[in-house]
Structure 1
Amino acid sequence: MDNKEFDVFSLYMQYMKLMNQSHNAIKKKSIKNTLETTPPGNDEPVVLSKGEYLQLIDLALETDDKKWFLELTQKMQSVAV
């Protein structure tokens, strides 16, 4: 790989990293919005399975959102049997 190819590859990797960060941010906002909003007439809280909580915790770790990570782990512990 020569210098030009390396430069192109480096730019591509930076682009992919930014795209991944954007994708994770959009995904996180979507999930948070789904969990925080309740359809009209539905007063029951959203109930998640342990696996769903673990997926959300993984996403919180991927996006480096410590506050959301702590919220999720507390909620998961509060619903654990």
Structure 2
Amino acid sequence: MNRLPQTTTAEKGPVSVIAGPWPSYAAFKGLPERDRWVMYSSAKAYRQALEDQGLVMAESYDAFIRRVCAELEI
């Protein structure tokens, strides 16, 4: 996982920025639709967990959602 230099924000202090996109969900596009929606929910929860630990994704949330939806074909 590539990280950009550590930056700071007024609210959080020092934060680590994860260069992305990361991870890819394209390998799951062959799953049944219900399972792809489960993976979509898991992707959002995983990103939230990373952010809760103080990590910041270089990819915006909107871009993340578009990419995951495209990779999962949903």
State the TM bucket, normalised to the shorter chain: 0.3 to 0.5
TM-score of the two chains, using structure 1 as the length reference: 0.33
Higher helix fraction (1 or 2): 1
Which one has the largest radius of gyration?
Answer: 1
TM-score of the two chains, using structure 2 as the length reference: 0.36
Higher strand fraction (1 or 2): 2
